[in-house]
A and B are shown apart, each in its own frame.
Chain A
Amino acid sequence: AQRVTQPEKLLSVFKGAPVELKCNYSYSGSPELFWYVQYSRQRLQLLLRHISRESIKGFTADLNKGETSFHLKKPFAQEEDSAMYYCALLPGFGNEKLTFGTGTRLTIIP
């Protein structure tokens, strides 16, 4: 069975400092990985997915199959980045349900 681990429940970073939210996964196949974000009082929304290789709101994430990681990074944190971030895995091959990590609450200190 697949599993997603986000080791940090809380992360505080100063504005302008680099941000890295960690995500590790376990799955024997080749999954698709996602980052979802939930801003205060808003619904969960997709931030980025590894196959699109996009940079959204300055965030990037690289899938490292050797380390089974998909860490989310941003070089310079902004106050509006404060939110709850969830890493999620989709196994693929017809098993189309997302498995989520427990989430990391990111707080940007002004």
Chain B
Amino acid sequence: NAGVMQNPRHLVRRRGQEARLRCSPMKGHSHVYWYRQLPEEGLKFMVYLQKENIIDESGMPKERFSAEFPKEGPSILRIQQVVRGDSAAYFCASSLTANTEAFFGQGTRLTVV
């Protein structure tokens, strides 16, 4: 089991472009969580998804951000019209069920220039 895989590891976008961050959970895991880490801050929860469903998106900015976890394929965090303030490390975690250990990916470092 390769663990939680995130790609790309590093992503550079110009202001106004779109950023797509991918997360492949561990095999058999149907729960996915996205976190954002701004410079000098802790990890902040963004969204929690189960296959094809958004369970909790209370940490997602209301505009420009969206997430999906389709029946087939990885979970995608999409940021439209990126701004400099979106520059951060974005971490994905997956778990087998809601109450079991969450395993983290290595993160995607987004830089907006």
**Nearest residue in B to A49 (C-beta to C-beta)?**
B101
**Nearest residue in A to B97 (C-beta to C-beta)?**
A96
Query: A16 to B19, alpha carbons, bound, how many Å?
Result: 46
Interface locus among B10-18, B37-45, B62-70, B73-81: B37-45
Number of A residues near B (Cβ < 8 Å) is 20
Q: Check A100/B56 contact, CB under 8 A, given A44-B91, A46-B101, A94-B98.
A: no
Chain A residues with CB below 8 A from B43, complex form: 44, 86, 98, 100
Chain B residues with CB below 8 A from A44, complex form: 43, 91, 93, 104
A57 in the interface, Cβ–Cβ < 8 Å? no
* B contacts, CB < 8 Å to A: 3-4, 31, 33, 35, 40-45, 48, 56, 59, 91, 93, 98-99, 101-107
Query: A45 to B101, alpha carbons, bound, how many Å?
Result: 10
By secondary structure, the A interface counts as: loop
Quote the shortest CB–CB distance from A84 to chain B (angstroms): 10
Is the pair A97, B45 in contact by a Cβ cutoff of 8 Å? yes
**What are 21 A-B interface contacts by the 8 Å CB criterion?**
A4-B42, A6-B42, A43-B4, A43-B106, A44-B43, A44-B93, A44-B104, A46-B102, A46-B103, A96-B31, A97-B33, A97-B45, A97-B59, A98-B93, A99-B45, A100-B35, A100-B42, A100-B44, A102-B40, A102-B41, A102-B42
